[in-house]
């Protein structure tokens, strides 16, 4: 419900600029927004509880024998002692005690991998968004959103004079054959694949290919080439 | 009616060979006739992915593990997902497998039938019945051939062999020979190719003391009769003065040949060229007058047609499909034994010296007999027959009235039914144990097919664009404007 099949959105702020966005995110309506916010709240809550259980386990182990004396409120708020005080409050609170009993019950060999996997899942972004920005006279910029919240999107800019060609190709991928859009960059052995994670379907790839050629180079050339290719 | 055809074989270019060039020539001629043809083969070292050859012939080099002599490892089901994907995206209607030693071809026929496609198999080779390897291959062949729509063999001998090996109904086996591109094998002097006249000298008739050159071009393997050649060669040279040999090719028997030359000190009369590329074969052939073909087994023997096309008199062993290939006045036949081969070669030399043979006419005759366009036409007729475009009586050549009596599993109008129960009936007849095993394989294949329909649904697979056909000028401009819009 939160994701859809990859679809194309085109933005054309000026005649010489086009942005193609392929995304799994649906158009955000109010209920969908609310749902997204609820899932984020849930993610945060579950994340914190996992961390709390891990902290309790740490306190239970003999590694933490010396650090359990921060039970007095320090004067200044901005200090490491104040952080320890909050942790102490959390630890002694009701959910903290529950976390301690839970941590005491599960062996560390099970608890640590399990919580790491859970944290990893919680940090995954729900949507994948990949964009291709074309600026006539400047070049093209590809960007691909990262899988988790911890890293940012990978972006690559290719100046027009480095772009040798843009083409649609087919290749084996797993047990299927896919169409994909590539940019051939001068002086590089490997081509740059546009929309590498989503690999949208042929219709999308072809319309983006037409549009990029039309925007990056003059319109006349596109007509001639597509007549040959199509 | 144009068909979408997938040629499946392990053997394809860049590897050279007879099956490879057969697939290529047949495919390009079928494309000329308006069909859409793709080729599915495995990946070669520097040939991977999806490629286009001349005329929009699309080749899928599927990344698969190669086991032995360019054959992939026979896994019964692993090829299915990717084959299904390709068949759907290219909208394939007919699967045409080549070569009984190719696991790809057998798998494709099995999966093709499971997917409800028409299948054709072309056999290019002859096999024995006695040794363990042949028995296994024959059983495998029987498995895939139990449920195939039609089989094509390259010669009548090959047909006989295949019918026996796979227990086929002879009516569903057609004979369509190989062909040669006659333009690539033209004699040294021929009026149709004036550009070849580099010198003014026309072919002279051979006098009794002129040197006669005998050419042998073959891979030096046991089945190509290299041992026979090694035994006969010194005797031929001893019996006939003014005779020279040119031998081209490589293989494990090359060492025997060299030892024989050393022993008899024949280096001045025998020239060993080593391996030659296919496009150089003609240049080697036109240096000689007689082509000697000592093969022990041969399904068709394209090379002797090529030799005759180059204007060489052919001496060959009377084995396999060879006697069907050329008319009697172009060949001298020998039994596959030393004495007879020596005698036959002697006869050929004598006839040439007496100017009894008009080798100059061979090229035009061969050109009339063999053409790939004709092969493509005949193959197309097979496609028409299996897809029901031709009536049963037309295709199989018998009265439709007694159609029901000769095959219970055959569905309407001579077309193999796709119903799973009918397919299982056909597989079950393969043998006591084998029949049950084959049924099991067919059932598993069907289950995999159903799972694939769920896992990779049809509508999630993009339909591939076809190679643009040549269109008339007014259509092209109309298309052009629609693109500009």
SS3 B80: helix
pLDDT the model gives residue A18 = 92
CB-CB neighbors (< 8 A) of A202 in chain B: 462-463, 465
Tokens 């002129």 identify what position?
A: B210
Percent helix, percent strand, percent coil in chain B, to nearest 5: 45, 15, 35
Neighbour tally for A5: CB within 10 Å: 10
Whether chain A has a CB inside 8 Å of the CB on B484: the answer is yes
Q: What is the pLDDT of residues A134-183, one digit of tens each?
A: 998 899 999 999 888 888 889 999 999 999 999 999 999 888 999 999 99
Strand partners, B182: none
pLDDT the model gives residue B140 = 86
| pLDDT band at residue A207 using 50, 70 and 90 as cut-offs | very high
Q: Does the ipTM exceed 0.85? A: no
Tokens 């029949």 identify what position?
A: B435
Q: What is the pLDDT of residues B309-351, one digit of tens each?
A: 999 999 999 988 899 999 989 999 999 999 999 999 999 999 9
| pLDDT band at residue B298 using 50, 70 and 90 as cut-offs | confident
**Smallest Cα distance from B5 to chain A, Å:** 18
Mark yes or no for CB contact B50/A172 under 8 Å: yes
The beta-carbon neighbor of A223 closest among B461, B463, B483 is B483
CATH among 2.130.10, 2.40.50, 2.30.29, 3.40.720 for A7-25+130-229: 2.30.29
| pLDDT band at residue B474 using 50, 70 and 90 as cut-offs | very low
CATH among 1.10.10.10, 3.40.50.300, 3.40.630.30, 3.40.50.2000 for B182-369: 3.40.50.2000
**Smallest Cα distance from A227 to chain B, Å:** 6
Whether chain A has a CB inside 8 Å of the CB on B77: the answer is no
**For chain B, what percent of residues have pLDDT higher than 90?**
47
Chain B interface, best mutation among A174, A191, A214, A227, by max B CB count within 10 A = A227
pLDDT the model gives residue B408 = 42
pLDDT the model gives residue B455 = 92
pLDDT the model gives residue A68 = 54
A11-21: average pLDDT = 91
Are A181 and A205 in contact by the 8 Å Cβ rule? The answer is yes
Answer whether residue B194 shows pLDDT above 70.
Answer: no
pLDDT the model gives residue B120 = 94
Q: What is the pLDDT of residues B210-240, one digit of tens each?
A: 889 999 998 888 888 999 999 999 999 999 8
Q: What is the pLDDT of residues A67-77, one digit of tens each?
A: 556 677 777 77
pLDDT the model gives residue B69 = 60
Whether chain A has a CB inside 8 Å of the CB on B457: the answer is no
Burial class, A71, CB count within 10 angstroms (exposed 0-12 / middle 13-18 / buried 19+): exposed
In chain B, whose CA is at the least distance from the CA of A175?
B82
Are B41 and B15 in contact by the 8 Å Cβ rule? The answer is no
CB-CB neighbors (< 8 A) of B50 in chain A: 169-172, 177
pLDDT the model gives residue B198 = 52
| pLDDT band at residue B200 using 50, 70 and 90 as cut-offs | very low
The beta-carbon neighbor of A226 closest among B49, B464, B483 is B483
In whole angstroms, give the CA distance from residue B198 to residue B207: 23
**Smallest Cα distance from B27 to chain A, Å:** 21
**Smallest Cα distance from A154 to chain B, Å:** 27
Mark yes or no for CB contact A170/B50 under 8 Å: yes
The DSSP letter of residue A24 is S
Q: What is the pLDDT of residues B26-82, one digit of tens each?
A: 999 999 999 999 999 988 888 889 999 988 899 999 988 776 666 667 778 889 999
Please state whether the peptide bond connecting residue B288 to the residue before it is cis, i.e. omega within 30 degrees of 0: no
Whether chain A has a CB inside 8 Å of the CB on B479: the answer is yes
SS3 B173: strand
Mark yes or no for CB contact A227/B85 under 8 Å: no
B125-150: average pLDDT = 85
| pLDDT band at residue B386 using 50, 70 and 90 as cut-offs | confident
CB-CB neighbors (< 8 A) of B465 in chain A: 202, 230
B384's CB contacts (< 8 A; 6+ apart) are B1, B390, B395
The beta-carbon neighbor of A177 closest among B85, B468, B476 is B85
Report residue B124 CA to chain centroid gap. Answer: 5
Report residue B392 CA to chain centroid gap. Answer: 27
In whole angstroms, give the CA distance from residue A32 to residue B441: 48
A4-24: average pLDDT = 90
Whether chain B has a CB inside 8 Å of the CB on A221: the answer is no
B114-131 burial code (b ≥16 CB/10 A, e <16): bbebbbbbbbbbbbeeee
The beta-carbon neighbor of A175 closest among B50, B82, B462 is B82
Instruction: Tell me what the pLDDT averaged over chain B comes to.
Output: 85
pLDDT the model gives residue B130 = 79
pLDDT the model gives residue A219 = 58
Whether chain B has a CB inside 8 Å of the CB on A193: the answer is no
Whether chain B has a CB inside 8 Å of the CB on A179: the answer is yes
- Looking at B195-199, B204-208, B439-443, which range is the least confident one? B195-199
Domain ranges of chain A: 7-25+130-229, 32-122
Chain B interface, best mutation among A176, A182, A204, A205, by max B CB count within 10 A = A176
B203-212: average pLDDT = 75
B240-269 burial code (b ≥16 CB/10 A, e <16): beebbbbbbbeeebbeebeebbeeeebeeb
Q: Tell me how far CA of residue A227 lies from CA of A214, B257, B472, in angstroms.
A: 13, 58, 14
List the structure tokens of B478: 């109309």
Percent helix, percent strand, percent coil in chain A, to nearest 5: 45, 25, 30
Neighbour tally for A151: CB within 10 Å: 11
- Looking at B39-43, B125-129, B271-275, B435-439, which range is the least confident one? B125-129
Whether chain B has a CB inside 8 Å of the CB on A171: the answer is yes
In chain A, whose CA is at the least distance from the CA of B470?
A228
SS3 B295: coil
pLDDT the model gives residue B291 = 94
Mark yes or no for CB contact B82/A172 under 8 Å: yes
Mark yes or no for CB contact A223/B49 under 8 Å: no
Answer whether residue B481 shows pLDDT above 70.
Answer: no
Answer whether residue B482 shows pLDDT above 60.
Answer: no
Answer whether residue A31 shows pLDDT above 80.
Answer: yes
CB-CB neighbors (< 8 A) of A178 in chain B: 462
Whether chain A has a CB inside 8 Å of the CB on B85: the answer is yes
CATH among 3.40.50.300, 3.40.50.720, 3.40.50.620, 3.40.50.2000 for B4-179+372-460: 3.40.50.2000
CB-CB neighbors (< 8 A) of B483 in chain A: 223, 226-227, 230
Answer whether residue A221 shows pLDDT above 70.
Answer: no
Rg (Cα) of chain B, in Å, rounded? 25
Whether chain A has a CB inside 8 Å of the CB on B456: the answer is yes
Range(s) within chain B of domains with CATH label 3.40.50.2000: 4-179+372-460, 182-369
CB-CB neighbors (< 8 A) of B479 in chain A: 227, 230
∠ CA B109-B115-B117 to the nearest 5 degrees? Answer: 65
pLDDT the model gives residue A75 = 73
pLDDT the model gives residue B476 = 45
pLDDT the model gives residue A66 = 57
Q: What is the pLDDT of residues B368-385, one digit of tens each?
A: 999 999 999 999 999 998
**For chain B, what percent of residues have pLDDT higher than 70?**
89
Answer whether residue B197 shows pLDDT above 60.
Answer: no
Answer whether residue B365 shows pLDDT above 60.
Answer: yes
């Amino acid at each position: 419900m939160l994701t859809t099949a990859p679809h194309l959105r085109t933005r054309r702020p000026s005649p010489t600029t086009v942005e193609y966005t392929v995304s799994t995110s649906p158009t955000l309506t109010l209920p969908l927004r609310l749902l997204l916010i609820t899932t984020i709240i849930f993610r945060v809550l579950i994340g914190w509880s996992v961390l709390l259980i891990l902290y309790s386990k740490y306190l239970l182990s003999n590694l933490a024998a010396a650090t359990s004396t921060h039970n007095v409120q320090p004067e200044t708020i901005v200090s490491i002692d104040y952080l320890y005080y909050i942790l102490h409050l959390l630890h002694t609170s009701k959910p903290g005690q529950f976390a301690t009993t839970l941590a005491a019950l599960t062996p560390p060999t099970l608890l640590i991998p399990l919580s790491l996997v859970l944290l990893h899942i919680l940090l995954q972004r729900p949507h994948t968004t990949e964009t291709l920005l074309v600026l006539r006279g400047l070049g093209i910029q590809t960007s691909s959103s990262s899988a988790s919240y911890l890293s940012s999107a990978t972006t690559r800019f290719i100046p027009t004079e480095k772009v040798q060609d843009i083409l649609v190709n087919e290749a084996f991928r797993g047990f299927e054959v896919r169409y994909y859009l590539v940019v051939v960059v001068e002086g590089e052995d490997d081509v740059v694949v546009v929309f590498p994670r989503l690999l949208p379907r042929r219709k999308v790839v072809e319309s983006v290919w037409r549009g990029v050629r039309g925007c990056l180079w003059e319109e006349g050339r596109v007509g001639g080439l597509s007549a040959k290719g199509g | 009616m144009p068909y979408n055809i997938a040629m499946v074989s392990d053997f394809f270019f860049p590897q050279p060979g007879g099956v490879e060039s057969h697939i290529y020539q047949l495919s390009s001629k079928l494309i000329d006739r308006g069909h859409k043809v793709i080729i599915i083969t495995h990946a070669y070292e520097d040939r991977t992915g999806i490629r286009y050859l001349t005329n929009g012939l699309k080749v899928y080099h599927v990344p698969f593990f190669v086991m032995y002599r360019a054959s992939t490892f026979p896994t019964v089901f692993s090829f299915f997902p990717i084959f299904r994907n390709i068949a759907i995206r290219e909208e394939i209607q007919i699967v045409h497998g080549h070569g009984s030693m190719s696991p790809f071809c057998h798998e494709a026929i099995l999966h093709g039938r499971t997917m409800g496609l028409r299948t054709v198999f072309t056999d290019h080779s002859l096999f024995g019945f006695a040794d363990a390897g042949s028995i296994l291959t024959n059983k495998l062949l029987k498995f895939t051939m139990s449920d195939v729509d039609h089989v094509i063999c390259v010669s009548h001998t090959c047909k006989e062999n295949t019918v026996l090996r796979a227990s086929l109904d002879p009516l569903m086996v057609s004979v369509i020979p190989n062909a040669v591109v006659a333009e690539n094998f033209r004699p040294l002097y021929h009026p149709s190719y004036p550009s070849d006249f580099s010198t003014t000298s026309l072919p002279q008739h051979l006098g009794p003391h002129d040197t006669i050159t005998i050419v042998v071009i073959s891979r030096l393997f046991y089945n190509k009769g290299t041992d026979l050649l090694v035994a006969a060669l010194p005797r031929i040279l001893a019996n006939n003065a003014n005779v020279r040999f040119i031998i081209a090719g490589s293989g494990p028997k090359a060492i025997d040949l060299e030892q024989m030359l050393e022993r008899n000190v024949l280096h001045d009369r025998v020239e060993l060229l080593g391996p030659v590329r296919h496009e150089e074969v003609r240049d080697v052939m036109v240096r000689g007058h007689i082509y000697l073909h000592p093969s022990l087994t041969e399904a068709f023997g394209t090379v002797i047609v090529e030799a005759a096309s180059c204007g060489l008199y052919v001496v060959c062993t009377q084995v396999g499909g060879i006697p069907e290939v050329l008319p009697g006045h172009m060949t001298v036949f020998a039994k596959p034994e030393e004495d007879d081969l020596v005698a036959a070669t002697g006869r050929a030399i004598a006839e040439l010296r007496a100017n009894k043979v008009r080798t100059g006419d061979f090229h035009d005759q061969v050109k009339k007999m063999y053409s790939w366009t004709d092969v493509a036409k005949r193959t197309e007729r097979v496609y028409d027959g299996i897809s029901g475009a031709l009536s049963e009586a037309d295709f199989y050549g018998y009265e439709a009235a007694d159609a029901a009596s000769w095959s219970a599993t055959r569905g309407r109008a001579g077309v193999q039914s796709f119903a799973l129960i009918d397919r299982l009936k056909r597989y079950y007849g393969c043998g006591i144990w084998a029949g049950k095993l084959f049924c099991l394989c067919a059932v598993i294949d069907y289950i995999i097919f159903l799972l694939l329909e769920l896992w990779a649904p049809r509508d999630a697979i993009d339909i591939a664009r076809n190679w643009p056909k040549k269109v008339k000028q007014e259509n092209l401009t109309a298309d052009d404007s629609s693109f500009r819009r």
